[in-house]
């Protein structure tokens, strides 16, 4: 009989990992990084050697690091099987894994400097560039709606999740107890109000559904209201004379923000004369979106000059080098600075926060989910002082949260997606914090009569 064990993204949003075992195959669905503080770092450093020996294949829903970021570590720890993903995800992983290895090496180098002075044990990166190249060679691209045969007579099909380039809903047909069982994993379901992506596919048949619940307790603001609020923030920042900082996830969120800035520019409503994209990875992804524009929503792409976000926003400058990034810190007002990481836990945004958070005329615009334990979450929750690059920094800037830009489905959209299934499958809620999961479970029961479970870490179910 096939079983499913919940190894990650259980009662939390990050660290996606699910083990599927049949009589003849062992599959790993997702292999994501945990994000958010010391406990996340500890979880990421745990050995994957036993898992690497056990698993026949890995299946990835999409390229975000909380879903795919530990695959190179799994390879480092001995895994040599195939990694199934969509071609779009494969393109993104070339960028994201290489960037993660580079950033990790720099972070560990910085960390080890003070560890050496304190006579503490030095750290190694979770993986290096050699592990990344080995992992990329294992990737096998599977197009949407094409059936792929896996080990143990398992069948795989990807469907468009509408979240980021290449994001997929994963459908697996598993031999179990003398019959086939159909498991559907939502991955990260997209927000139909978001630009550039198609709407998520709606599936009708399953025996079991793993459904994300990131925003299971609320809906997003209407997109037009969000855009109007952004325009108001930019106008206020212009009047105040300060900079606007936007911590943005390099994949998906950055491109959506650039799209809306380009529309405001086209309408004559962008007062800032300089827009900096200060993230090497986000720059590469933005250029990839231009090359892969035929995979995006054609109506949205038609509004962009040459299908390119960069061409549609003349004030935009790419800050590719460290020197380019450092030069931005000499600008005390009139700039929009978009930089990673999206939760402010690393990357160049921390330098810009250090130079701007203490300024009363600065504005920090949060456009994505901030996991518990991250710097972004502390700022959203009203921290008066934070530590940045070894210094205590007072928080005097205005903090704005724009939830409407989320690339995740809100509660009503999740409920609508769940209602399409005809076979009354068993629902299991993952990728959500406890309050969001409980709220979604209650809403599913009240509106659709669905009794959804909320699995715990390490819990195993029979399929």
pLDDT of residue 168: 98
- What is 38-71 written as a DSSP string? HHHHHHHHS--HHHHHH-SEEE-S---HHHHTTH
Q: Which of 401, 391, 388 is nearest to 350 (CA)?
A: 388
Question: Residues 446, 418: contact at Cβ < 8 Å?
Answer: no
Which of these, 236, 276, 227, lies nearest to 254 by C-alpha position? 276
Say how far apart CA 433 and CA 247 lie, in whole Å.
21
Alpha-helical (H) ranges within 143-297 are 223-240, 253-266, 280-291
Q: Of the candidates 331, 342, 350, 338, which has an alpha carbon nearest to the alpha carbon of residue 245?
A: 338
pLDDT for the residue 370: 87
DSSP state of 153: G
Q: Which domain holds residue 267?
A: 223-405
- From the list 344, 338, 212, the residue with the least C-alpha distance to 275 is 338
Q: pLDDT digit of tens for each residue in the chain (463 aa)?
A: 899 999 999 999 999 999 999 999 999 999 999 987 778 889 999 999 999 999 999 999 999 999 999 999 999 999 999 999 999 999 999 999 999 999 889 888 988 898 988 889 999 999 999 999 999 999 999 999 999 999 999 999 999 999 999 999 999 999 998 899 999 999 999 999 999 999 999 999 999 999 999 999 999 999 999 999 999 999 999 999 999 999 988 899 999 999 999 999 999 999 999 999 999 999 999 999 999 999 999 999 999 988 899 999 999 999 999 999 999 999 999 999 999 889 998 889 999 999 999 999 999 999 988 888 889 999 999 999 999 988 999 999 999 999 788 889 999 999 999 999 998 999 999 999 999 999 999 999 999 999 999 999 999 999 9
Q: Are residues 366 and 301 in the same domain?
A: yes
Whether 164 and 312 map to the same domain: the answer is no
**CB–CB of 460/5 below 8 Å?**
yes
**Proportion of the chain in helix, strand, coil states, percent, rounded to 5:** 40, 20, 40
pLDDT at 305: 86
Q: Are residues 274 and 389 in the same domain?
A: yes
CA distances from 178 to 31, 135, 148, 254 (A): 29, 34, 21, 47
Let me know whether 186 and 236 are in one domain: no
Asked if residue 432 and residue 400 are part of one domain, the reply reads no
| Cα–Cα dist 29/185, whole Å | 9
- Which pLDDT score, from 0 to 100, does residue 110 have? 84
Tokens coding 332 = 């005390």
Q: Are strands 316-318 and 335-339 parallel, antiparallel or unpaired?
A: unpaired
The CATH number that applies at residue 228 is 3.40.50.10890
Cα–Cα dist 72/125, whole Å: 11
Same domain, 386 and 412: no
Among 405, 427, 448, the domain boundary falls at 405
Are residues 246 and 379 located together in one domain of the fold? yes
DSSP reduced 3-state for 347? coil
What angle (nearest 5°) sits at the alpha carbon of residue 446, between those of residues 433 and 167? 45
pLDDT at position 450 is 97
Whole-angstrom distance, CA of residue 389 vs CA of residue 392: 8
Contact 261, 275 (CB under 8 A): yes
Count the domains in the chain. 2
459, two tokens: 């819990």
| Count of positions (residues) in the chain | 463
Domain end (from 405, 424, 440): 405
């Amino acid at each position: 009989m096939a079983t499913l064990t919940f190894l990650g993204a259980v009662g939390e949003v990050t660290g996606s990992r699910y083990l599927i075992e049949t009589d003849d195959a062992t599959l790993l669905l997702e292999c994501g990084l945990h994000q958010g503080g010391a406990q996340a770092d500890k979880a990421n450093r745990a050995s994957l050697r036993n898992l690497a020996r056990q698993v026949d294949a890995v299946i990835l829903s999409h390229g975000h690091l909380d879903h795919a970021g530990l695959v190179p570590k799994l390879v480092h720890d001995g895994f040599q099987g195939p990694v199934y993903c969509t071609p779009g995800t494969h393109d993104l992983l070339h960028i994201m894994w290489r960037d993660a290895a580079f950033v990790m090496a720099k972070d560990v180098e910085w960390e080890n400097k003070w560890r050496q002075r304190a006579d503490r044990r030095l750290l190694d990166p979770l993986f290096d560039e050699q592990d990344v190249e080995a992992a990329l060679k294992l990737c096998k691209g599977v197009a949407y709606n094409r059936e792929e045969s896996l080990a143990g007579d398992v069948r795989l099909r990807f469907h468009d999740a509408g979240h980021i380039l290449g994001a997929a809903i994963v459908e697996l047909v598993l031999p179990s107890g003398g019959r086939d069982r159909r498991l559907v994993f939502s991955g990260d379901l997209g927000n139909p109000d978001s630009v550039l992506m198609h709407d998520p596919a709606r599936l009708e048949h399953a025996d079991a559904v793993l459904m994300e619940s990131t925003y299971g307790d609320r809906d997003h603001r209407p997109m037009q209201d969000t855009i109007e609020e952004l325009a108001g923030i930019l106008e206020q920042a212009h009047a105040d004379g300060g900079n606007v900082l936007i911590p943005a996830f390099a994949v998906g969120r950055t491109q959506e923000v650039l799209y809306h800035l380009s529309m405001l520019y086209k309408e004559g409503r962008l007062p800032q004369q300089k827009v900096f994209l200060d993230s090497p990875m986000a720059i590469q992804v933005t250029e990839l979106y231009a090359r892969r524009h035929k995979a995006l929503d054609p109506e949205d792409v038609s509004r962009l000059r040459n299908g390119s976000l960069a061409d549609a926003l003349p004030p935009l400058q790419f800050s590719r080098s460290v020197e380019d990034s450092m030069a931005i810190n000499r600008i005390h007002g009139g700039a929009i600075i978009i930089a990673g990481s999206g939760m402010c836990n690393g990357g160049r945004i921390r330098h810009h926060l250090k130079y701007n958070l203490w300024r009363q005329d600065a504005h920090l615009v949060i456009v994505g989910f901030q996991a518990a334990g991250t710097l972004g979450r502390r700022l959203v929750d009203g921290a008066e002082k934070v530590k940045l690059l070894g210094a205590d920094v007072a928080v005097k800037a205005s903090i704005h949260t724009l939830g409407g830009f989320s690339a995740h489905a809100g509660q009503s959209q999740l409920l609508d997606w769940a209602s399409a299934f005809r076979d009354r499958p068993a629902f299991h809620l993952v990728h959500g914090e406890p309050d969001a999961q409980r709220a979604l479970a209650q809403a599913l029961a009240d509106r659709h009569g669905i009794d959804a479970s909320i699995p715990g870490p390490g819990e195993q179910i029979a399929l």
